[in-house]
Amino acid sequence: MKAGDNPVEFEEATFINDIKRHNVKIYECEIDSNIIFNKYWANKQKGISNKILIVCNTVKKAQQIYVELMDKGITCVNILHSKFIKCERSEKEKEILAFGRNEKSGEGIWVCTQIVEASLDIDFDYEFTELSDLSGLFQRLGRCNRKGIKPIDEPNCFVFLNIDNNLLTNGTKGFIDRKLYALSKEAMLNKTGILSENDKINIINQYLTTENLKGSDYLRKYHEFAEWIKNLYPYEIDKSEINLRNIVSYDVIPYEVYLKHKDEIDSNSTELLRVINSKLDKNELEIVKLTKLKKKEEIKKYTVPVGRYDIYFEWGNTIVGKVQLGKNEFINVVNCQYNKLGFIRLNIKDVRGMKENFDNFL
């Protein structure tokens, strides 16, 4: 942004209050439920506050860690990610917010994805996290000892540097930038110990430089997008045509969820169509608009977002029904796996010669 015809000038930001909140321990391996279990059990034996947050890069990994901890006999384990139906996700967010209040001590484990990085105001005693990139990592660490008033004489943040190679960008595959990840891993390799806020800024300034990022997908995409914006004329495109994250997803209702709430869903759909087909005068239009919005939301609270490779729509037996929202608006009811883990993507090794894509949902 400093380069080009109209450079942007920046002022250097400094931290006046350099509270030390995090004592970091680094592991050169993939995230390990055994290490998490051992820490949980040690804290339990000591009788200390035992609020543990686990942050995984994907839904699939979060589900795996959750199951492994449950299998080890821990019953106070919860899971939160984006692949729950909306009403269940909303309830889970309320639960984690209540559990993660700054002043509240307790015992429990929440296994999450990076949706907790910035969207939820929570505070945990200990955190175990996969590495994605430095900025994301430091955001995640901010969910542990937020006010800096808890003791940090022992590690309270545990970072696992190794991740599945299939998650790294490679052509059209992967979603974690390969070069950003490599730089982040190099930066954190020997960072065991106290990590201050100034330390975090200095690490980012040292490793995530424009020079270091040359050749990365991140920088290439940035320049492509900047050039695209530069050449846009005002009012040339509609905002609905813009997809900054380039993610294709669909809202669907899992078949088992539909069966459980069939009467409510069908009733709201019928009422929607009745309202849409009614002959209305001008005075009724505003009331009808609100009614339509309310009825649609009552149906959509049972939907879950799925990606293009989560459900193969060309399979005849995948879509088992449709819920009508309007004259030309439908939500598919799909035959899929959905349970206390949330939506579980199909485990297909080969579909029309295409190898299974690794999960890239958060």
DSSP state of 319: E
C-alpha span between 20 and 9 (Å, rounded): 30
Question: What are the sequence ranges of the domains in the chain?
Answer: 22-207, 249-355
Higher pLDDT, 28 or 215: 28
- The percent of residues above 70 in pLDDT, for the chain, comes to 82
* 3-state DSSP assignment of residue 186: helix
Q: For residue 309, give Cα distances in angstroms to 59, 125, 286.
A: 14, 37, 40
CATH superfamily of the domain spanning 22-207: P-loop containing nucleotide triphosphate hydrolases (3.40.50.300)
Task: Note the pLDDT of residue 221.
Answer: 84
Please indicate, yes or no, whether the overall pTM of this predicted structure exceeds 0.85. yes
Task: Note the pLDDT of residue 157.
Answer: 98
Task: Note the pLDDT of residue 348.
Answer: 46
